[in-house]
């Protein structure tokens, strides 16, 4: 098990639930836009949010942001270690530094100041920011070397990351890093891309690592509205059974036997139950030939029929209803479980 690090009141590692992170794409110096984005992300389920701190104006705004943010705030620092020191003084809850663009003595100064102020640091190594392309093992070793440097400077409140935009490199790098360290790992790709491919790449890389038990906090990095990152991160945790407090709608893929509009009912059920935090499984199956057998394990559901459909609960048929009433019946059953 990894060590536990607290980011304000949110634990990372040490058996804590896997948290979901995202990053604002507003100007941090624009307080209003950034705090609005943070609140939207928090409402979407984001646990920890990162903001870029590229200049002094951002540090000034950061002071207000950390006071008003409903979730812990991480300052993302590149090149200028003084901005890291200033962000600590501004009250930020965690730093993210990239050892690829800070000198060793600068990293030491940041580590010492972070330690004095009980601010954890994420050492985020990115393959793209190295002067020469490092192998996955090289990324892991660089991250581990930086871990040692930070420890020597006095801090042991660390979270580590080794990202690439390549799925297989990312998976291998984290597996290598996991052998070297017991600090919690922040898992994700860097420059994953748009929702088109970036989402598939993130699902594979983050999913494979979490399935192996590697990863304590995740970010689905996407070139889109960051709220989507949070939604997709939560879906990964749900798909892996790391978050069970939700209504899972399973549905058959439909075929020539399909008697009801499976896609419409399943989609409507997903939308209508998306805010319910209960471990519940509803099945929407297009026919009764394979329906109940295939939907075993669902709490309740429907198997489509030509004019009437079968409603079942705990694998037992409880009634048949006209097809136009299927959705209403399922929603009535839903009420029993709320
Ligand atoms: S449950 Fe019935 S309709 Fe759905 S895919 Fe299977 S056989 Fe086809």
Q: Which residues contact 63 (CB under 8 A, 6 or more apart)?
A: 90, 91
Of 239, 265, 288, the last residue of a domain is: 239
Pocket residues: Cβ below 6 A from ligand 1: 252-255, 257-258, 285-287, 289-291, 294
- The CATH number given to whatever domain includes residue 286 is 3.30.413.10
- The number of the ligand 1 atom at minimal distance from the alpha carbon of 255 is 8
Are 110 and 227 in a shared domain? yes
Using alpha carbons, list the distances in angstroms from residue 207 to 100, 180, 188, 201.
Answer: 26, 21, 10, 10
Using alpha carbons, list the distances in angstroms from residue 113 to 76, 79, 127, 295, 314.
Answer: 16, 17, 27, 56, 58
Are 132 and 152 in a shared domain? yes
Distance from residue 257's CA to the centre of ligand 1 (Å)? 6
| Contact of 206 with 215, CB cutoff 8 Å | yes
Q: What is the mean pLDDT of each run of 10 residues along the chain (338 residues)?
A: 97 98 98 98 98 98 98 96 98 95 94 97 88 89 96 96 96 98 97 92 98 98 97 97 95 95 95 90 91 81 94 91 94 85
Are 194 and 298 in a shared domain? no
- The number of the ligand 1 atom at minimal distance from the alpha carbon of 253 is 5
Are 231 and 333 in a shared domain? no
Q: CA-to-CA distance for 298 and 27, rounded, in angstroms?
A: 46
pLDDT of the residue at 132: 78
pLDDT of the residue at 58: 98
Are 230 and 257 in a shared domain? no
Are 79 and 98 in a shared domain? yes
Distance from residue 265's CA to the centre of ligand 1 (Å)? 15
Best mutation site among 259, 294, 326 for ligand 1, i.e. most ligand atoms within 8 A of its Cβ?
294
Q: Which two tokens stand for residue 156?
A: 């042991």
3-state helix, strand, coil in the chain (%, to 5): 45, 20, 35
Distance from residue 315's CA to the centre of ligand 1 (Å)? 16
pLDDT of the residue at 60: 97
Distance from residue 261's CA to the centre of ligand 1 (Å)? 12
Of 239, 259, 286, the last residue of a domain is: 239
Q: CA-to-CA distance for 312 and 78, rounded, in angstroms?
A: 57
- The number of the ligand 1 atom at minimal distance from the alpha carbon of 286 is 3
Q: Which residues contact 317 (CB under 8 A, 6 or more apart)?
A: 292, 310, 311
Best mutation site among 250, 253, 256, 257 for ligand 1, i.e. most ligand atoms within 8 A of its Cβ?
257
Distance from residue 272's CA to the centre of ligand 1 (Å)? 24
DSSP state of 10: E
* Element spanning 52, H or E: strand 48-52
- The number of the ligand 1 atom at minimal distance from the alpha carbon of 304 is 3
Residue nearest to atom 2 of ligand 1 (CA): 287
Distance from residue 242's CA to the centre of ligand 1 (Å)? 29
Distance from residue 102's CA to the centre of ligand 1 (Å)? 57
Count, residues in the chain? 338
Are 152 and 235 in a shared domain? yes
pLDDT of the residue at 257: 94
HEC string for 253-286: CCCCCCCCCHHHHHHHHHHHHCCCCCCEEEEEEC
Best mutation site among 285, 288, 326 for ligand 1, i.e. most ligand atoms within 8 A of its Cβ?
285
Using alpha carbons, list the distances in angstroms from residue 296 to 195, 241, 299, 309.
Answer: 33, 17, 8, 17
Distance from residue 323's CA to the centre of ligand 1 (Å)? 16
Distance from residue 254's CA to the centre of ligand 1 (Å)? 5
- The number of the ligand 1 atom at minimal distance from the alpha carbon of 262 is 4
| Contact of 310 with 303, CB cutoff 8 Å | yes
Distance from residue 316's CA to the centre of ligand 1 (Å)? 18
- The number of the ligand 1 atom at minimal distance from the alpha carbon of 258 is 3
Of 219, 239, 259, the last residue of a domain is: 239
For residue 19, what are the domain limits?
5-239
Residue nearest to atom 5 of ligand 1 (CA): 254
Of 138, 139, 111, 110, residue with least CA distance to 126 = 139
Q: CA-to-CA distance for 127 and 100, rounded, in angstroms?
A: 9
Are 150 and 20 in a shared domain? yes
* Element spanning 218, H or E: strand 217-219
- The CATH number given to whatever domain includes residue 187 is 3.20.20.20
**Residue 204 CA, distance from chain mean position:** 13
Of 220, 227, 229, 223, residue with least CA distance to 40 = 227
Are 185 and 251 in a shared domain? no
pLDDT of the residue at 129: 74
Are 211 and 283 in a shared domain? no
Are 333 and 200 in a shared domain? no
Are 271 and 229 in a shared domain? no
In the chain, alpha helices (H):
31-44, 56-68, 81-89, 104-116, 136-152, 167-180, 195-211, 226-239, 262-273, 291-294, 326-337
Q: CA-to-CA distance for 278 and 2, rounded, in angstroms?
A: 28
User: Residue 75 forms beta bridges with which residues?
Assistant: 51, 95
Helix (H/G/I), strand (E/B), else coil: 232:
helix
Number of domains observed in the structure of the chain: 2
């Amino acid at each position: 098990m990894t060590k536990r690090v607290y980011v304000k009141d949110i634990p990372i590692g040490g058996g804590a639930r896997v948290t979901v992170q995202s990053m604002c794409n507003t100007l941090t110096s624009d307080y209003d836009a950034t705090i609005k984005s943070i609140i939207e992300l928090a409402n979407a389920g984001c646990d920890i949010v990162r903001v870029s701190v590229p200049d002094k104006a951002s540090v000034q705004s950061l002071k207000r942001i950390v006071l008003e943010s409903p979730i812990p705030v991480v300052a993302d620092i590149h090149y200028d270690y003084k901005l890291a020191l200033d962000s600590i003084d501004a009250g930020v809850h965690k730093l993210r530094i990239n050892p690829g663009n800070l000198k060793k003595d600068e990293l030491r100064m940041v580590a010492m100041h972070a330690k004095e102020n009980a601010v954890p640091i994420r050492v985020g190594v990115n393959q793209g920011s190295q002067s020469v392309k490092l192998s996955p093992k090289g990324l892991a070793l660089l991250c581990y070397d930086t871990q040692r440097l930070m420890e020597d400077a006095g801090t042991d409140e660390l979270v580590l990351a080794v990202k690439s935009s390549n799925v297989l490199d990312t998976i291998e790098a984290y597996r290598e890093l996991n052998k070297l360290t017991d600090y919690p790992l922040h898992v994700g790709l860097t420059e994953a891309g748009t929702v088109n491919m970036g989402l598939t790449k993130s699902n594979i890389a983050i999913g494979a690592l979490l399935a192996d038990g590697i990863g304590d906090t995740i970010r689905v990095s996407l070139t889109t509205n960051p709220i989507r990152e949070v939604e997709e991160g939560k879906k990964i945790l749900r798909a892996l059974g790391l978050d069970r407090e939700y209504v899972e709608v399973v549905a058959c893929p439909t075929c020539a036997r399909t008697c009801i509009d499976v896609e419409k009912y399943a989609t409507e059920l997903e939308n209508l139950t998306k805010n319910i935090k209960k471990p519940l499984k509803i099945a929407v199956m297009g026919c009764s030939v394979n329906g109940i057998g295939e939907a075993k394990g669902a709490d309740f559901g429907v198997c489509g029929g030509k004019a009437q459909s079968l409603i079942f609960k705990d694998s037992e048929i409880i009634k048949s209803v006209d097809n136009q009433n299927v959705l209403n019946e399922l929603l009535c059953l839903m009420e029993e479980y709320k």
